[in-house]
Structure 1
Amino acid sequence: MIKSKTDYLEYLERDRKALKVIKQNFLKQLVVDFFFPNVIYIFQRKLRKVEYYKNTQTNIFRKMIYLYFYRDYRNYQLKLGFSIPPNTCGPGLSIAHYGTIVINGNAKIGANCRVHIAVNIGATGGTKKAPFIGDNVYIGPGVKIFGDIKIANGTTIGANAVVNRSVLEENTVIVGVPAKKVK
């Protein structure tokens, strides 16, 4: 969770590296961003800025800044088809494509996770308990993860899998409906 300006800058840098966005000199970067904007990286920067202002607001002026950035962030969410609440994803988040991605506000996703299109991470049966996903997890296209479950570090979840049970063994591959360990 972003609690300081240092955390904010670290999250931005790790997200940039995870998305493989190349740092260039200022003028070249302006031209590239103008003609070929990386909309996912722009979204993630907006997400991190909202998290920073939400977690560090101390007075009415900062609250107003937060509301301004939140409005901009919400517009980008609608534009790209994402529903990713602040403070759910750790640093190094890599969103592979824009399109439908829905994450419950109570879910927690660890560092260096890769999320593909048509992913749904949520609660089940009207409860507020949502999944806890560890670090370095690959979530393939069309994956559904729901319930009060834990996904261990280094897990790879294959395309269109439905995960409704905890995966406690690290560095495993799970696939299928319902998801089962294959490797």
Structure 2
Amino acid sequence: MINNKKDYLEYLTRDRIALEIYNQGAVNKIKNLIFPDPVWTFQKRMRQLEYYTNCKNYGLYHFYIYYLKYRYKLISIKLNFTIPINVFGPGLSIVHYGTIIINFTSKIGSNCRIHACVNIGASGGEIQGPQLGDNIYIAPGAKIYGNIWIPNNTAIGANAVVNKSFTKENTIIAGIPAKVIGEVDIKKIIKYI
């Protein structure tokens, strides 16, 4: 969670590296200005809203936070994301825009790489959503729900339905319902960690 300006800048830097947005040199700066990456724009707005909500939630900043929420909602609708603030740690990489739905009680650690058509939420009647560790890869179409825990360095396969907790790190989880199908070196999948 972003608690100060230093955290905010750290989150932005790690997200930019995760998305492979290069801003060095005149050519890259002009390219990013003319053809901005919509996912990077979304993530910058999300981090800005997190910073102001967590650190500057007083006085006249309330009006600015409403403005940031409005802009965040507009780009969320455009990209088809339903992602609340303060869910992801630093190093988030949303690979494609498309349907991504996340429950506000879920927590996902640093260096998460997530694809389209992913749902992460609470299970019928429960309030608490899943808690995912650091260095998590979530393939397209994965459904993760319930008051469950996913350990660090885990890859979740395409269209997996994860509805129970796992304890062993460095594994691949896949299937309906999900089960451990093998081991993985997560650094081969998430190259920026």
TM-score by length of 1: 0.96
Counterpart for residue 69 of structure 1: 68
How has the CA–CA distance of structure 1 residues 95 and 58 changed in structure 2, closer, same or farther, with 3 Å as cutoff? closer
- State TM-score, norm by structure 2: 0.91
Alignment deviations for residues 82-112 of structure 1 (CA, whole Å, 9 cap, x no partner): 0000000000000010000000000000000
- Distance in 2 separating the partners of 1:169 and 1:49: 35
Q: Displacement of 1:65 after TM fit?
A: 1.2
The DSSP-based 3-state class of the residue aligned with 1:89 is coil
Gaps of 5+ in 1: none
1:174 corresponds to: 173
Q: Tell me how far apart the structure 2 counterparts of residues 140 and 119 of structure 1 sit (CA, whole Å).
A: 8
Q: Which residue of 1 aligns with 2:10?
A: 10
Report percent identity of matched pairs: 50
Q: Which residue of the partner structure matches residue 189 of structure 2?
A: none
Q: Distance in 2 between matches of 1:74 and 1:166?
A: 32
1:12 is matched by which residue type in structure 2?
L
Task: Indicate the SS of the match to 2:177.
Answer: coil
Distance in 2 between residues matched to 1:58 and 1:52, nearest whole Å: 9
Q: Which residue of 2 aligns with 1:99?
A: 98
Partner Cα distance (2:157, 2:46) in 1: 26
Deviation at 1:60, TM superposition (A): 2.2
Distance 1:51 1:29 in 2: 27
**Higher mean C-alpha deviation, range 56-65 or range 75-84:** 56-65
Residue 118 of structure 2 corresponds to which residue in structure 1?
119
Q: Partner residue of 2:42?
A: 43
Matches within 5 A, 1:19-34: 19-25=19-25, 28-34=27-33
Could you list the runs of 4 or more consecutive aligned residues of structure 1 that deviate by over 2 angstroms after TM superposition?
27-31, 57-60
SS state of the match for residue 156, structure 1? strand
Amino acid at match of 1:35: I
2:188 aligns with none
The amino acid of 1:16's aligned partner reads R
Residue-pair matches, total: 182
User: How far, CA to CA, are the matches of 1:124 and 1:99 in structure 2?
Assistant: 22
SS at match of 2:168: coil
Q: CA deviation at 1:28?
A: 3.8
Paired amino acid for 1:130: G
The equivalent of 1:160 in structure 2 is 159
The answer (yes or no) to whether the contact 2:133–2:153 under 8 Å persists in 1 is yes
Instruction: Report how far residue 57 of structure 1 moved.
Output: 2.2
C-alpha distance in 2 between matches for 1:137 and 1:109: 8
> Letter of the aligned partner of 2:146 in structure 1?
G
Tell me by how many angstroms 1:58 deviates: 4.2
**Counterpart of 1:89?**
88
Unaligned runs of 5+ in 2: 183-193
Hey, what's the Cα distance between the residues in 1 that align with 2:50 and 2:110?
Answer: 15
Distance of aligned partners of 1:58 and 1:122 in 2 relative to their CA distance in 1, 3 Å threshold: closer
CA–CA separation in structure 2 for the residues paired with 1:148 and 1:84 = 18
RMSD: 1.1
Structure 1 residue 66: deviation in Å?
1.0
